[in-house]
Amino acid sequence: MKTFKIVSIIGFIGFATISCSPERAAIVQGKSGVQLWSETCMRCHNTPSPADFNDADWSTIEMHMRVRANLTADESKKIFDFLRSAN
């Protein structure tokens, strides 16, 4: 169990270091609201369409989901700006 723990911790740190790179940061930064919407919401449930709610409701949901789903400030702004612009 101890060896398993040590190996998994080292593996985790190694993996984390490899997967973090400036190019990848630029990819994430460059994502549009539509793209983030199609990738993010389905992590937990089916993806709602922009027309499902009005602007006021989307902004309440924005805060609820930002906290519940641990969305970054940038992600949630882009996604919900898109949802409000397309409903």
Partner 1 sequence: MKRIILPILAMFFVGNIIAQQDLKPSKTQFMIRGYGSAGFQSLNDEGEKESSFNSGTFAPIMLFKFSDKFMFETEMEFAYENGELETALEYADVMYILNDYMTIRAGKFLLPFGTFMERLHPSWINKLSSVPLGFGHDGIVPSSGVGVELRGTFTVSGSKFNYAVYSTNGPKLNDGSMDPDEAGILHFDNYEDNNKNKSLGGRIGYLPFTDSSTEIGFSFLNSKVGNTESDYEKIGAKLIAYDFSFIKKVNPLAGIIDIKAQYNKSLVDDAEYFEPLDGGGFEEYTFNNTSNSFYAQLSYKPTMSASNFLKNIELVGRYSELNTPEGAEWESNVKQTAFGINYWLSWRSALKVNYQITDGTGGHGGGGIDKKLFTIQWAFGI
What the block records as the tokens of 58 is: 């989307």
Take residue 52 and report the two structure tokens written for it: 């499902």
* CA–CA gap between residue 14 and residue 16 (Å, rounded): 5
- Nearest CA to 87 out of 56, 46, 42, 55 is that of 55
Rank residues 35 and 85 by Cβ distance to partner 1 and give the closer one: 35
Question: Which member of 7, 10, 57, 86 binds partner 1 (CB under 8 A)?
Answer: 57
Minimum distance from residue 72 beta carbon to ligand HEC (Å): 11
68 in Cβ contact with 18 (< 8 Å): no
Task: Report 3-42 residues binding partner 1 (CB under 8 A).
Answer: 12, 15-16, 19-28, 31, 39-40, 42
Residue 65 contacts which entry, partner 1, ligand HEC, none (Cβ below 5-8 A, type-dependent): ligand HEC
Query: Which residues 6+ apart lie within 8 Å of 81 measured at CB?
Result: 33
Question: Does position 40 bind ligand HEC by CB under 6 A?
Answer: yes
Report the residue from 2, 5, 43, 51 that binds ligand HEC according to the rule CB under 6 A. Answer: 43
Q: Pick one of 71, 78, 80, 84: the residue that binds partner 1 (CB under 8 A).
A: 71
Query: Within 10 Å of residue 42's Cβ, how many Cβ atoms?
Result: 10
